[in-house]
């Protein structure tokens, strides 16, 4: 929690929008306003979600028009847990109805958290299988965010290394994904540590290369990695 997963997603979404792709964005733990502020803030290089006064109204308006005025970004208005089948139908509509090239789902755990008649492990497995089917049938890219099981000893919030074995469910996420990337950050360390986000490739179906990769640095002035 709080590692920077959503910020990574917004960065990648903005990257694809800048290159003309059509993007569906489903963020189940934040409002549409927060999602838009985050993406527009990255576009203009100012963290306006922290302080709207960092940019004047016209600059924000121009940034909004440049990002969202093209009509290629589709945000889903929902907060909290929801029925996985309903969500999967929405993703299928984004692909078939709106022509989305890539869909972001942030995050999987909350999708299954409200199901009372099935345990989380089984619900994650079933949902992942259905999500993979949608990807195969529609050809979209799906970027899926997942929380991890807590490791023994040092926590992930204190910079512990991520691993495939810590993914929730009975390994369905690891088995069905083409690429799995872990994000590690010591939130309780020194100032420079708190602003360093280490990425680790845990699975790479296409090339097989795994292990530590880029280290991203958070810039507090621009709100960017």
By the 10 Å C-beta count (0-12 exposed, 13-18 middle, 19+ buried), 175 is classed as middle
- Four-CA torsion 50, 55, 60, 62, nearest 10 degrees: -150
Instruction: Output the pLDDT for position 191.
Output: 85
CB 74 within 8 A of CB 24: yes
CA dihedral for 139, 170, 89, 82, sign (positive or negative) = negative
Sequence-distant contacts of 64-68: CB under 8 A, at least 24 apart: 64/36, 64/40, 67/14, 67/17, 67/39, 67/40, 67/43, 68/36, 68/40
Q: Residue 81 above 70 pLDDT? A: no
Please state, rounded to an integer, the average pLDDT across all residues of the chain.
91
CA 120 to each of CA 88, 107, 117, 168: distance values in angstroms, whole numbers, following the listed order: 17, 14, 10, 8
Q: Residue 63 above 90 pLDDT? A: yes
CA dihedral for 74, 80, 86, 92, sign (positive or negative) = positive
- Residue 13 binned pLDDT confidence (cut-offs 50, 70, 90): very high
Per DSSP bridges, beta strands 102-106 and 179-184 are unpaired
Q: Residue 62 above 90 pLDDT? A: yes
Please give the sequence-ordered ranges of beta strands (E in DSSP) within the chain, or none if there are none: 23-27, 73-75, 102-106, 141-144, 179-184, 196-204, 211-217
Distance CA 111, CA 83 (A): 7
pTM (global) more than 0.75: yes
Q: Would you state the structure tokens that stand for residue 63, as one six-digit string? A: 């940034």
Q: Residue 112 above 80 pLDDT? A: no
Q: Residue 79 above 90 pLDDT? A: no
Q: Residue 216 above 80 pLDDT? A: yes
Q: Residue 170 above 80 pLDDT? A: no
Which of 64-73, 102-111, 173-182, 207-216 has the least mean pLDDT? Answer: 102-111
Instruction: Output the pLDDT for position 94.
Output: 97
pLDDT single digits (tens) 33-45: 999 999 999 999 9
pLDDT single digits (tens) 122-164: 888 889 999 999 999 999 999 999 988 888 888 887 888 999 9
């Amino acid at each position: 929690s709080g590692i920077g997963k959503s910020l990574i997603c917004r960065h990648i979404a903005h990257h694809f929008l800048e290159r003309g792709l059509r993007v569906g964005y489903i963020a189940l733990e934040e409002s549409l306003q927060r999602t838009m502020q985050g993406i527009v803030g990255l576009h203009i290089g100012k963290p306006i979600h922290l302080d709207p006064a960092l940019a004047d109204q016209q600059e924000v308006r121009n940034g909004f028009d440049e990002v969202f005025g093209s009509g290629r970004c589709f945000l889903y208005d929902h907060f909290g847990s929801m029925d996985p089948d309903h969500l999967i139908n929405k993703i299928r509509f984004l692909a078939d109805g709106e022509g989305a090239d890539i869909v972001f789902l942030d995050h999987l755990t909350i999708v299954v958290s409200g199901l009372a008649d099935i345990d989380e492990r089984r619900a994650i497995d079933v949902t992942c299988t259905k999500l993979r089917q949608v990807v195969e049938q529609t050809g979209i890219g799906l970027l899926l965010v997942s929380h991890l099981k807590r490791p023994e000893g040092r926590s992930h919030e204190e910079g512990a290394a991520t691993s495939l074995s810590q993914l929730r469910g009975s390994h369905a996420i690891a088995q069905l994904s083409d690429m799995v990337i872990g994000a590690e950050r010591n939130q309780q360390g020194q100032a420079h540590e708190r602003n360093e986000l280490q990425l680790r490739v845990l699975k790479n179906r296409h090339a097989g290369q795994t292990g530590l990769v880029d280290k991203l640095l958070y810039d507090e002035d621009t709100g960017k990695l």
